[in-house]
A and B are shown apart, each in its own frame.
Chain A
């Protein structure tokens, strides 16, 4: 980063790649969540509310796993890297890669939760 860059530019350089990564995953999750919901209702014969609740729970599974994996990597990732290095079990696993992957998984789950949650609200007429 250029030493003379303004605060705005620095924030943009920091936030944009991260927002793009998570935002992309949220969008994909929303589309997949909505598609799963439609498939359960149309092809599976489920009631809209039941299908939305099931799809939402699947979304929370991915979101929870992603969030737990992301924060776990941030918290204990350095320790895992150390352990692999010292026990000669290097698998090329790194904290940074893990955080990126988990942010994608979490974003995907969050998108699915958002889409199915909104559909259920609309279906229930809340």
Chain B
């Protein structure tokens, strides 16, 4: 049982993290140059118009006032309107539309990382110094070392260009169109924005297959790094656990090797692995920026790249803070899982 006090303490930690990220973003945007008033008014606008826009935006106020106003807006998740990328639309709306795409990609990447990394790590530990162990170690090293901007195009070349079994870009077939809502017990409900779930909700298996096949290569690209790290951690942690007295006792009492490993070893070996899953979720989100760009997926990653290129500051602020919020929430979930597996952490 996880105590409420523990959860409250971890929730409180979210405040300085998000405050820190907001302050950092504010600083970078104020030091990076470029006049937001000029960007909004346009390059051909007169000085008079630019001055008016500056006044409207409050850029003539003391910087302490601007900072305070920025923090108040951030607390309400209000970043104003986009300057360029989605001109005139509220940044919050743009983020809400793109967020499910990135979450879907990150979740599938994480799933692949865990689904492959955990068994490989366990097998590596049980069969230490065997051919399987060495192969897994080399695979893990390659997974950690190969950058996404190289592995992504390679996968596209092989699976899409050479074998032709997976599509190279996009989220779903170009001839498939999805409705905006689905019906449950006569009620019309909005879709999630995650195509693999939406196609199921709409009861369209062919569209679902198309969505899964489109997501396969990006998810593998992003999940390989996660898999490599998880398998290395699992191996190391499992090696430590299988040498413990309680494991030997379980075997001495006649329990089978597989059951001992899975029943007594797995849960204890998972404790350090869980913490790594939380930490590398940040890497996964960073990887999403590159993966989305390589595979032409319109999530928050591509949004950040477009916004930086167009000096669309509100969108950059909003996207960075959204990533920070996601990362901290995942870590909160990890902490809760961690304290469930090892209740001593709560003390």
Contacts and interface: CB of A to CB of B under 8 A. Distances in A.
Question: Which of the four size classes fits the interface of chain B?
Answer: 20 to 34
B19 interface: yes
A87 B232 contact: yes
Question: Which of the four size classes fits the interface of chain A?
Answer: 35 or more
A64 B23 contact: yes
Contact of B275 (A53, A71, A83, A113): A83
B233 A67 contact: no
A61 interface: yes
Query: Secondary structure of the A side of the interface?
Result: helix
A68 interface: yes
A56 interface: yes
Given A57-B27, A75-B328, A83-B276, A120 B63 contact: yes
A124 to B, nearest CB: 6
Contacts of B236: 86-88
A65 interface: yes
A71 B20 contact: yes
The 6 closest A-B pairs by CB, nearest first: A68-B20, A79-B275, A64-B24, A64-B23, A67-B20, A61-B27
26 contacts: A56-B63, A56-B64, A56-B67, A57-B31, A57-B63, A58-B27, A61-B27, A64-B20, A64-B24, A64-B26, A65-B24, A66-B20, A67-B19, A68-B21, A70-B16, A75-B13, A75-B328, A76-B275, A76-B279, A83-B233, A83-B275, A85-B272, A87-B232, A117-B62, A120-B63, A126-B62
Interface of A: 52-54, 56-58, 60-61, 63-72, 74-76, 78-80, 82-83, 85-88, 113, 117, 120-121, 124, 126
